Amino acid sequence: MDEFMLRAIAQARQGLKEGGIPIGSVLVREGMILGQGYNKRVQDNDPVTHAEIDCLRNAGRIGSYRDTVLYSTLMPCYLCAGAVVQFGIKKVIAGEAETFSGAQAFLEANGVEVVNLDLKECKKLMRDFINKNPQLWDEDIGET
């Protein structure tokens, strides 16, 4: 597992430690981290502070995003996939898409290369959370 996915997992664990949903994200350009973040919907009482959005906010205005790679511990949802497409990010590396399939087809249909690493660690993190917090998870994915 590469250092960037490890950093995204660390971000996810930080969110869980704070009582939130364990999803983390890292934005990388040419081997350097530009931003990182985690799902803060619970902590910030903000329905759109998903991990990828928090990561992009933390990266700030970087000009073009076309030569960046977005790492996420979970396949991005449509909200986050929309941001990826809007900003022209051409590659997304997801830790897993088993617990949530996300918007992979949408990303690919819009020219984004998607790599699903199918990592046991990411799946376990999400399964454990979902089993302990099914209502919060349903809220996060808009199924309440």
**Domain spans of the chain?**
3-135
* pLDDT, tens only, 69-127: 999 999 999 999 999 999 999 999 999 999 999 999 999 999 999 999 999 999 999 99
* pLDDT, tens only, 13-53: 999 999 999 999 999 999 999 999 999 999 999 999 999 99
CA dihedral sign, ordered 98, 100, 105, 110: negative
What are the percentages of helix, strand and coil residues in the chain, rounded to 5?
45, 20, 40
Q: Active-site residues: which are they?
A: 52
Are the C-beta atoms of 106 and 77 separated by less than 8 Å?
no
The 3-state DSSP class for residue 108 equals helix
Are the C-beta atoms of 50 and 41 separated by less than 8 Å?
yes
User: How far does Cα 93 stand from its chain's mean position?
Assistant: 9
Instruction: Copy the structure tokens of residue 90.
Output: 């051409």
Reported confidence tier of residue 139, pLDDT bands at 50, 70, 90: confident
Q: Tell me how crowded residue 128 is: count the other CB atoms within 10 A of its CB.
A: 12
Pick the CATH number of 3-135 from 3.60.20.30, 3.40.140.10, 3.40.50.10320, 3.30.1490.20: 3.40.140.10
Amino acid at 106: F
